[in-house]
Homo-oligomer: A and B are copies of this chain.
Amino acid sequence: MKKKVTLKQIARELDVSISTVSKSLRNSPEISEDTRQKVQAFAKLYNYKPNNIALSLKNRKTKTIAIIIPEIVHHFFATVISGIEQVANENGYNVIVCLSNESFDKEVINMEMLANGSIDGFILSLSKETQFKADFHHITEVINQGMPVVMFDRVTNEILCDKVIIDDKTAAYDAVQSLINQGRKKIALVTTVDYVSVGKLRTDGYTKALLDNDIPFDENLIVKIEDIDNSEKQISDLLSGGEIDAVFAVNELFAVISVKIATKLGLNIPTDLSVVAFTDGIISRYSSPTITTVSQNGIKMGQKAAKMLIDRIESESEEEEHYKTEVIETHLIERETTISQKNATL
């Protein structure tokens, strides 16, 4: 078991100073060709690699970025991480992943712990509880310390920083419009509770689409799901009414559950009932029938977020004010839960 070798040890072995070793390895022109080669040969032999922690302390930057997300067992977030990781790696950064598990406290603890020198910047998506409490002091604090933060997907207007989002409202509007174009009139909405920012925006888009098409808004066609485990009954009640001819769901889980229940109720999809959902993931692709969804390119969101963060980290200027919000485009991926028009977008 040969332990990692340090500059000090090399210096001692070669009977030169630590400075000389350091400079030799960094190819400083100060050092004679002779000693440089000797040191480099020795270092190579012992497989010397500089200690990252020491470098971090010296340089006051760690070349690592932290991602704080509510959940990882969730295809969308996994794709975002994947995108971040790719760009981070290309730029020599490592990635620390922390899960808030939708808990405010855990989000705060994680951020505070990492803000103390461990990382160069944050990429984060708010936990449900944080959105519910609308308490963002931990984020403000970190930003005030001069640490760059990029938020994505679940963001808030109360924090000024770089952001990467999709246009949830417009995308929802377009999705609902596509149902209307197919002649659907009784369009139900299966959504989250209001404090989830994206759920709210998607609900707004739904409402606006109805309005613009002179379709009466009906409270009774809306189900707000707080807890996924109890959702079946709510959706079942909704669909049993019999009136409904389309469902717009704010995520694919709500959609697939709706599809299952509808099928059980003897409804034919898409003849009796069309279904469109947010966020194209694994489930939509493999459920039967496959589900028409709004794509939300997590890879691209992650890449963009990482790029923005690294730019911010590496830019000398501290011009705090030029925060940007990037909007990633979405599109509808038509599958079997809407009338098969065979003009699938992808």
Name which of A111-119, A220-228, A271-279 contacts chain B. A111-119
Name the residue of chain B whose CB is nearest to the CB of A255.
B286
A72-B78, A82-B73, A98-B94 are known contacts. Are A54 and B54 too (CB-CB below 8 A)?
no
A283 contacts B by Cβ under 8 Å: yes
Bound together, the chains give a CA A346 to CA B172 distance in angstroms of 37
| Pair A96/B95 contact, Cβ less than 8 Å | yes
A2-40 interface with B by 8 A CB criterion: 2-4
A75 contacts B by Cβ under 8 Å: yes
| Pair B53/A282 contact, Cβ less than 8 Å | no
| Pair A52/B118 contact, Cβ less than 8 Å | yes
Which of these, B85, B112, B114, B318, contacts A98 with CB under 8 Å?
B85
Which of these, B2, B114, B144, contacts A1 with CB under 8 Å?
B144
Bound together, the chains give a CA A114 to CA B283 distance in angstroms of 35
Name which of A56-64, A152-160, A179-187 contacts chain B. A56-64
Contacts of A117 in B (CB 8 A): 4, 51-54
A79-B73, A145-B1, A146-B3 are known contacts. Are A97 and B85 too (CB-CB below 8 A)?
yes
A96-B94, A282-B283, A286-B256 are known contacts. Are A118 and B53 too (CB-CB below 8 A)?
yes
A331 contacts B by Cβ under 8 Å: no
Please count how many residues in chain A sit with their CB below 8 Å of the partner chain's CB atoms.
53
| Pair A53/B64 contact, Cβ less than 8 Å | no
| Pair B99/A85 contact, Cβ less than 8 Å | yes
What are the interface flags for A67-86 relative to B under an 8 Å C-beta threshold, 1 for contact and 0 otherwise? 00000111100110110010
| Pair A1/B146 contact, Cβ less than 8 Å | yes
Contacts of A44 in B (CB 8 A): none
| Pair A144/B2 contact, Cβ less than 8 Å | yes
Contacts of A95 in B (CB 8 A): 96-98
Bound together, the chains give a CA A208 to CA B61 distance in angstroms of 55
Bound together, the chains give a CA A146 to CA B106 distance in angstroms of 32
| Pair B94/A114 contact, Cβ less than 8 Å | yes
Which of these, B49, B53, B72, B283, contacts A57 with CB under 8 Å?
B53
A117-147 interface with B by 8 A CB criterion: 117-118, 141, 144-146
A117-B53, A145-B3 are known contacts. Are A72 and B64 too (CB-CB below 8 A)?
no
| Shortest 6 CB-CB contacts between residues of A and residues of B | A288-B288, A51-B117, A53-B117, A49-B116, A52-B118, A97-B97
Name A's B-contacting residues (CB within 8 A).
Answer: 1-4, 47, 49-54, 56-57, 62, 64, 72-75, 78-79, 81-82, 85, 89, 94-99, 106, 112-118, 141, 144-146, 256, 260, 263, 282-283, 286-288, 318, 320
